Amino acid sequence: MKNKSLNKLSILMVFFILISVVGGIYLLLNFFYRSKAESQAKVKVDFLSNSVNFDVNQSQEISLNLLTEPTHRISGVELVFTFDNDNLDLIDFEDVSTIPSNYFDDLILVETKRVNETKKLKIVLFAKKNYQQLSNLIRINLKFKSKNNSGTGKIIFLSSESQIVGSNVYHYYDIEPETNTVDYQTRSDRDIKINFKLRFQGIVTLPRAKETMNVSAKIVDESTGRESESKRMVVNADNQSYWRGTIYFPEMVPASNYAFYLRGEKHLLKKICHSSPVESTPGTYSCNQGLISLYQGENNLDFSQIMLLAGDLPEQDGVINSYDTSLIRNNLGKNNPDILEKADINLDGIINSQDYALVIYSLSVVSQNR
């Protein structure tokens, strides 16, 4: 009887041991496969902008999106960046924030050090939240502040040295960088800075279609022949039909014989030789020798008393010809965005006879002044 009881007990013990072993193997395999599945998931890392301009001693936020699959979550990051390469000293790291706000509970490490000729930034953040409180999309905002030095550099995200983990600390994601570099330019109060005031043909009120425009600008020192590269300037409309913008020329030096070459998005290239030019008939201003003085620091130039003639439509080739007139004539009455971007000269939101008349006027001015 005693032996029988012992046998039953032994069988029960073996049974429970087998159950424990099988259960353990199941849990281990389940953990292994879940970990493997999550570790094979990817996080896309993408800077929201690939370029940024700093004014003197200006703080700017540079944003980085982290995105994984909807069923996955992000709980911790170790992000590594480089900036100020070639021993430059243009910007300093200031702070880090996130969207959603305060997503990470612990800021474990922020470290900036110079490695060889480059500054290296390491940020380690961790969220003590459950799965439901975590997200698959996070925006990391890095705040940098410029110094009073002029130059260009790159902020580079080093995916090979960074780590991103999921809802379990053992779940490491594969990092898939999309835009991993931001080009930046800094300014100095020793640079030539120019504030423009401009006027464009046909725009007599605050435009309905758009209130910003791109203008290409180049300056030439006509006493030496030295010229800047052509740069893009964004100008903004005001209520008096004037357009204002600012541009820097750090590569140029103060001098008194500068000429400007300006061209709007739908406009002819214009050479300007005077700091406050005037004209008796719209669009007829012309000049030969540059007489504009530019100084270190801020310069204010008022070109609003002359008209920048329209008519050289995208893709611009430097002249007004049958392509330009046909583009307007063939699209009269249309207001779809692609056509407006090319041929709506007075920015009233429709291609009409007013746009056509403006180009014909420009053509007549150019013909008379050849």
Q: Mark whether 181 and 95 lie in a shared domain.
A: yes
Q: Mark whether 134 and 198 lie in a shared domain.
A: no
pLDDT above 50 for 27: no
Query: How far is it, in rounded angstroms, from Cα 116 to Cα 109?
Result: 21
Provide the mean pLDDT of the chain: 89
- Mean pLDDT, residues 65-72: 94
Structural domain includes residue 21: no
Q: Mark whether 288 and 353 lie in a shared domain.
A: yes
pLDDT at residue 133, rounded to an integer = 94
> What number of other Cβ atoms are within 10 A of residue 310's Cβ?
26
Q: Is residue 82 helix, strand or coil?
A: strand
Structural domain includes residue 118: yes
> Of 239, 238, 217, whose CA–CA distance to 228 is shortest?
217
pLDDT above 90 for 366: yes
How does pLDDT run across 280-319, given as a tens digit for each residue? 999 999 999 999 999 999 999 999 999 999 999 999 999 9
Structural domain includes residue 7: no
Structural domain includes residue 275: yes
How does pLDDT run across 109-147, given as a tens digit for each residue? 899 999 989 999 999 999 999 999 999 999 999 999 999
Structural domain includes residue 35: no
What predicted TM-score, i.e. pTM, was given to this entire model? 0.70
Q: Who wins on pLDDT, 24 or 242? A: 242
Query: How far is it, in rounded angstroms, from Cα 343 to Cα 310?
Result: 10
Last residue of a domain, one of 170, 186, 202: 186
Q: Who wins on pLDDT, 353 or 34? A: 353
Q: Mark whether 203 and 128 lie in a shared domain.
A: no
CA of 364: how far to CAs of 185, 206, 282, in Å? Answer: 42, 26, 12
Domain that holds residue 331: 192-368
Q: Mark whether 281 and 313 lie in a shared domain.
A: yes
CA of 199: how far to CAs of 132, 206, 358, in Å? Answer: 56, 12, 14
pLDDT at residue 22, rounded to an integer = 46
pLDDT-derived band at 223 (thresholds 50, 70, 90) equals very high
Please, are residues 318 and 269 in contact by the beta-carbon 8 Å criterion? yes
How does pLDDT run across 99-110, given as a tens digit for each residue? 999 999 999 989
How does pLDDT run across 191-213, given as a tens digit for each residue? 999 999 999 999 988 898 899 99
Q: What are phi and psi of 109, to 5 degrees?
A: -155, 130
CATH number of the domain residue 236 falls in: 2.60.40.4130
Q: Mark whether 330 and 209 lie in a shared domain.
A: yes
How many domains is the chain built from?
Answer: 2
Please, are residues 149 and 92 in contact by the beta-carbon 8 Å criterion? no
